[in-house]
Amino acid sequence: MTTRTARQRQNDDYIQIDNLHFRYRDRTVFRGIDMRIPRGGITAIMGPSGSGKTSLLRLIAGQLKPGAGTVRVGGTDIHRLSRSALFRERRKMGFLFQSGALFTDLSVYENVAFPLRAHTRLPDTMIRDLVLMKLEAVGLRGARHLMPATLSGGMARRVALARAIVLDPELILYDEPFAGQDPISTGMLAALIKRLNDTLNLTSIIISHDVPETASIARHAYVLADGQVAGQGPIQEILESRAPEVRQFVKGLPDGPVPFHYPAPDYRDDLDLGETC
């Protein structure tokens, strides 16, 4: 009975991260974190700048290697795969970059068609239908002939989203999808992420600073601080958490466990005021 329950729980978790340690140059980013990302929902990963949110996303995607620990995606230890096996595994993932990362020498249409042309031998007519369906889903079917340089930030992110879902992935990783967007674009993107996740039955991970917008669509959340998981659970519990690191982030308090000031020598010494004042 116990074994069956454990296996069932394992199946419900699409991503399992155990004892993850990671260093970037001289800085320790993660000190043995454990996470479970449930299948089929939207999970938010929040935390102050520099808490390693983007590094975590890249560790999940196998772009960075951990110092220790394991990251299992759909049951596969992503860091034990060969390069070609990792590339095959990534076809099940979509990644939305903060910048959009559209290929600047390709039109909107060709950007969305890129993964299809790279991984399938579908005829052009079928590629055309698939691309137009995905562009329709993000509301940009009419912009198919535009070049990335002529798109607004919000449009570029929607095109990147269409490209991320064109291979019908099981998992989508969103890196700061709302950063630098106006309120209309933010609301539009949030609704789009929610709709795509529900209709395509995806597992989504969103990294974001935007607490209200993320809370409106995410089911679970993790808050990272100081190389560790400071809080986790259903989004409502996170919003009401009394843990100091979580509370500071969620309420947007300027000072707290994450100090306002970067470590510096004594202010008076720095101004050469010495003992005279």
Partner 1 sequence: MLNAIALLGRYGLNRLATLGRAGVLFVAALWGRPTLRPGLSLLVRQLFNAGVLSLVIIVMSGLFVGMVLALQGYTVLVRFGAVEALGQAVSLSLVRELGPVVAALLFAGRAGSAMTAEIGLMKATEQLVAMDMIGVDAVRRVVRPRLLAGIITMPLLAQIFNAVAIGGAVLVGVKWLGVDSNAFWVNMRESLSFGEDILNGIIKSLVFGVIVSWIAVFQGYDSEPTSRGIGEATTRTVVYSSLAVLGMDFLLTAMMFGVD
Residues that bind partner 1 (CB under 8 A): 61, 63, 87-88, 90-91, 93, 95, 97, 99, 101-104, 114-115, 117-119, 163
Closest approach of Cβ 31 to partner 1, in Å? 26
Which strand (E) or helix (H) includes residue 37? strand 27-38
Q: Which is nearer to partner 1, 36 or 114 (CB)?
A: 114
Q: How far is the CB of 241 from partner 1 (least distance, A)?
A: 32
Q: Smaller CB distance to partner 1: residue 179 or 243?
A: 179
Under 8 Å CB-to-CB from 72, ≥6 apart: which residues?
15, 16, 17, 18, 78
Taking the complex as a whole, how short is the minimal distance between the CB of residue 111 and partner 1, in angstroms? Answer: 10
| Residue 102 vs 250, nearer CB to partner 1 | 102
CB of 152 to partner 1, least distance (A): 16
Minimal distance in Å, beta carbon 91 to partner 1?
A: 5
Order of strands, sheet of 68-73, starting from the edge strand that comes earlier in the sequence: 27-38, 13-24, 68-73, 76-77
Alpha carbons 250 and 246: distance in angstroms, whole number: 6
From 243, 262, 246, 256, select the one nearest 46 (Cα to Cα): 246
DSSP letter string over 69-98? EEEEETTEEGGGS-HHHHHHHHTTEEEE-T
